[in-house]
Structure formats: C-alpha cells, structure tokens
Structure 1
Amino acid sequence: MNTGQMMLILCAMSILAVLTLSINSSIVNASVLGFNMEVNLDAISIAQSTLDEILYNDFDQNTINDTRAFEYTDITPAGLLGPDGAGEQIDGGVDIEDTTKVNDFQSKTKFNDVDDYDGYHRKAWNPRLGWFDVRVVVTYVSETNPDVVESDRTFYKRVTVTVTHPNMITDSEQHIIPMVIRDLAVYRRYF
C-alpha cells in the first residue's frame, strides 16, 4: 500500500468514527427525551389521581353527612385548614404508598373533606421510575377571581397538587421543574 491509499483509509475510518459517534449521540438523546416524557406523563397521572381523590371528598368538615352551610362562618376558618384532629393525622407525617393494601394511602381512609389535604405530603411508587414526591396546598380563593388567595373563608377552595421526581426536566440552573395542577372545590349552598 502506498501513502495515498493509507491516507484514504485513515480518512474513511475517521469519517466512520465520527458518523458512529453522531448516531450514538442521537440515540442517547432520543432515549433521554423518551424517559423525560415518561416521567412527566407519570407525574401528570399521579397528580390527577391525587386531585380526583381530594375532590371526591366533602367540601368542608362542617358539611359532612349532608349538613348545609349557608354563611361563611359555617365553614372552617382559613387558619385551621388541614387535618381536623388526631384521627386524621398521617402516621410518620409522610403518606408512603403501601402496595399490599387496597387503600394504598392512609389519606383515603383518614381524610373526609377537601381541606384535610392542606399541607399533605405523599410518596408515590412507580415500579419502573421509583418514588414521586407529591405535595398539596389548599387555600380559600376569591369567588370572582380564583387566582387571588383569600385570608378569610369563601365557598371556593383552590387545591394545588405539585409532583416532583429526580429525573424530571430541569431549568438552566438545574432546578427540577415540578408538575403542578390546580382545581377548585366549590360549595353549592342551595342545592
């Protein structure tokens, strides 16, 4: 082999190496993107199921068993939102999923109204992705503008569910961007 042929072979090998690295990089990037999308979809699912669980309950401790509230003073004061007593406390402070039971979270049997979930913290397990961290905030909001938090009672409670996972998408400073969903619990006084 002469020098010219050797140079062509080296160039061909270099091009092949660069092409291989480029293809591998594309495959890895596609896998990472797919994994991020799976984490985000699972986070949405966990957040929505938590929100559904919360909104299934009665509006307030004082409206359980078809008790009617006609005035703001008939419902729980804003400063007392959260579990209503020792019977509604989560053992250990964090509700960790128990996959051996039908009611896999303590909240399903201990909480009976929407505002019991204020300050609630849950760890949800996914066999493929691991633990998701779920936190809930319940606040009274303005009846005319649900984006405005009220310090006093109204017949509107905003439920905010925030889900995080170590593998969720991060911002430019590497802070995890949480999945946040909100909904309103509205009390209908007259029907």
Structure 2
Amino acid sequence: MNRVDLKVVLLGHEAVGKTSLLERYVNERFNESMDYQITIATGFAAKKIDVNGKQIVLGLWDTAGSERYRTMVRVYYRGAKAAIICYDICDQLSFNRAKSWVRELRSQEEGCKIYFCATKCDTIEKEKQPVPHLDTVKDYANGIQSKFFVTSSKTGTNVYELFQEIVKDFIQDSKNTITPEDVVNLTQEMDNKRNCCAFLHNR
C-alpha cells in the first residue's frame, strides 16, 4: 500500500505490549506470546477506514523498545502525526522509559500528538496494583497535554477507542478535506461497530 494519510507510531519499552495492541486493532485478535516477542527495528501495518464516503489510510509503525535499536527507531517516527507511547500498567520502569520517549519525541517532532497508553490492565485482576498509581499517570498526561488510555489487548478494553480518538483528532485537524459532519458520522459508525465501556482519557 503506497498511500498513507495518517502515520501513527507506537513507542515504549520492550515487552509492554505494543505489538499486541496493534494486532488487536488491525486483526481483532490476541496472541499472548506476542507480549514477549521482541520487535526488531520496526513492524508495519495499514488499515483503511471509511468516513462518510472518504477513505483514510492509517499507517501504523510498531517500533522496537530495546535501547540498542533506539537510534534506528528515530527514523521511523519522523513525520508521524500521532504517537502512542505505551507502558505496562504494573511496571514502574516501563513508565519511566515511556516518559523518556515523550521527551525525545517532543525534541524531534513537536507537532506529533501524543496518546499516553497504559497496557495490560487485565493483569490488575490478578491482584497486581497499578505502578505508578493511575492518578499519578493522569496528572503526568495532563501536564504534557496528552490523552490517556488504559487498555488491554487481551480483552480488547479501550483499544478500539484509542485509535478512534486518534482518527477523530486527525479529522478535526484536517482543513477543507473532511467536514465537521464527517466527524459525527465517524463517531456513529464506530459506536455502532462496537459497544464497549467508556474509555479513560484526559484532554
């Protein structure tokens, strides 16, 4: 596929579930072994979305989280309109690494919108507690003017809503190509496809 209207890059420490997040959204499936596979440099997927007769093509880049690939990854997030920066909801280290990705991305791509994403929220049911506390993360997301989502690729919780919000923001930022009415139609179309619980985010 040669055309990409909206470039989205996934960033974060290794094994936080970036590949699983992408797999759940693009193919609507979950493979638990993906949470432990290491992405080499980057992976790519594309998804077409129809908005009131207009077609938007999302280009989705799944990047490596290992420090040894960090310099290489910079090539792939250039020109991205949106970045999903992920951390494991029960892993302080991955949260700290996510913050470093925010700083690096902002220094390289100031116009890229950031969506801060806690992954693996299903693990909380196994008597694990969020680390850091979600209130701390929400305050951080507010401070960097990022929307915050709590997701699970295993159950599908808020995965679709995350990408829905990215597309809606892209449409609203587009001038003279997509009308405000299209935004309403997109919301209705996506809501009809799935009846999921409300997503957690901060504006």
TM-score by length of 1: 0.25
Q: Which has the larger radius of gyration?
A: 1
TM-score by length of 2: 0.24
